[in-house]
Structure 1
C-alpha cells in the first residue's frame, strides 16, 4: 500500500515570469481561465469560496463563477445558506481556482457585496427550469429529515409556478471585489512561480514575486 506521504508530482508544464505576465491581474486571470477552458480542464469554472463566521471559524465550499469584470468576481447562491449568513456578518472572503492539469492555482481576496436585483433576476431567468425550481425547493444549509423533503418541495413549487418560477427573495448574486490576487504556477524541485498583485492607494496594482 502506498503511503500518502510518498505521493509526489514534479511540476514541469509551464512557467510564470514577470516579463511575460500581465500588469493587470484581471487580464492575467482572463488568460489563464480561457486556457483552462480551451484545454478542457474539468469544471474550469469551479472555485473554492472561503468565509469566516462570527465564531471566527473559517469554512469552505465549491461554487461556480458566473461572471467577472473590473468590478469583481460573481457567483449566485442562497442568501440564507451558511455562506450567506457568514458574509452578512463578515463581508471579507477568499476564492481559489485549482486547475490541476495545468499545474496552476489562482487565489483572490477581497470584500463581497450582493449584486443588484436586476442582475440576479436576469441570471435567474437564464437558468434551466429544474434549477429555478431547485432554488425554491432547497432550504440550503438547514437540517432536513431526508431527501424526500427536497423531492416534495420540488413537486410543490413546480405545481405552483409551472414554467415561470420567480426568483426567490432568498436567492441571488454576490460579487467579490479583489484587493489581492495570487497566481501560482508549479515548477520543478518545488521552486514554484508565485506572483502577487496588491491594490495600492492610487488603485493601481503592485506586482510582486513571492517565495513558494
Structure 2
C-alpha cells in the first residue's frame, strides 16, 4: 500500500457501516497567536487527493487561527473499529463556488444559523440567540438563503498520515505516510 487516500477511503467506508454517529467527525487542532493549541470536533464534508474539507465561520476562533497560521492537524477516531487516523498539513480556503454549493446543500435551519450565530463570541443568553434566529428567518422569508460572506471552508492538504489500529496487549499497528515529492513514503512506527 503506497496510497494513504485509498487506505483512508477503505477505513472511512468501514466506519460509515459501524459508527453509530458521525463517522465523518474529526478533531481539528489549530494554534493561536500565543502558540496555545486549540482542539474541537468538526465534520468532514469532502475529501480526496487534494485534501480534507470542512466548513465554518471565518470569524470563529478556528477560522481566525487558521487564517493567521494556515496549518492544522486532524484526528479521526472510530471507537467501534478500534482505529484512528491522524493527518497533518497546510491549509487553504475552498473556492467561493465550492462554498456556495455546499452551503446550498445544507438544511435551511443550518443556513439561517450561519447568519444568526456570532460563532465563538460571548452569548448573553439562549433567548438572545433564538431572537437572532427569528430575525434572520424573517429576513429571508421563503426565499433562498445566501451564503454569508464570513462563512466558507478550509482544505487541509496532507503532508503526513498515521493509521493506527488497536492490537492485543497494546502491540498496536502504526502505519505512516509522509509526502515525498509528488508521491508518498510509507513506513511503520513502534507502538
Do the structures match in fold with TM over 0.5? Answer: yes
> What per-residue deviation string (whole Å, max 9, x for no partner) do you get for residues 60-100 of structure 1?
00000000011100011110000011011100100000000
How far 1:40 sits from its partner (Å)?
Answer: 4.0
**Shift in Å, 1:42:** 2.5
Determine the C-alpha separation between the residues in 2 that align with 1:80 and 1:26.
31
1:114 corresponds to which of 77, 93, 98: 93
Contact 1:48 1:62 in 2 (8 A): yes
Kindly report which structure 2 residues correspond to 1:46-195, keeping only aligned pairs within 5 A, or say none: 46-163=25-142, 164-195=144-175
What TM-score, normalized by structure 2, do the two folds share?
A: 0.97
Aligned partner of residue 208 in structure 1, secondary structure: strand
Counterpart Cα distance in 2 of 1:74 and 1:41? 22
Q: Which moved more, 1:152-161 or 1:36-45?
A: 36-45
- Where structure 1 has 5 or more consecutive residues not aligned to the other structure, the ranges are 1-21
Aligned residues: 190
Conserved? CA contact 1:41–1:99, under 8 Å: no
* Partner Cα separation in structure 2 for residue 144 and residue 37 of structure 1: 35
RMSD in angstroms over aligned alpha carbons?
A: 0.8
- Give the deviation of 1:39 after TM superposition: 2.3
Q: CA deviation at 1:171?
A: 0.4
Q: For residues 100-123 of structure 1, what are the alpha-carbon distances to aligned partners after superposition, in whole Å with 9 as ceiling and x for unaligned?
A: 010000000001111000100001
The answer on whether the counterparts of 1:94 and 1:109 sit within 8 Å (CA) in structure 2 is: yes
| Deviation at residue 43 of structure 1 after TM alignment | 1.4
Q: Which has the greater radius of gyration?
A: 1
CA distance in 1, matches of 2:20, 2:185: 30
* Cα separation, 2, equivalents of 1:118 and 1:162: 24
Structure 2, unmatched stretches of 5+, are none
CA contact (8 A) 2:43 2:54 kept: yes
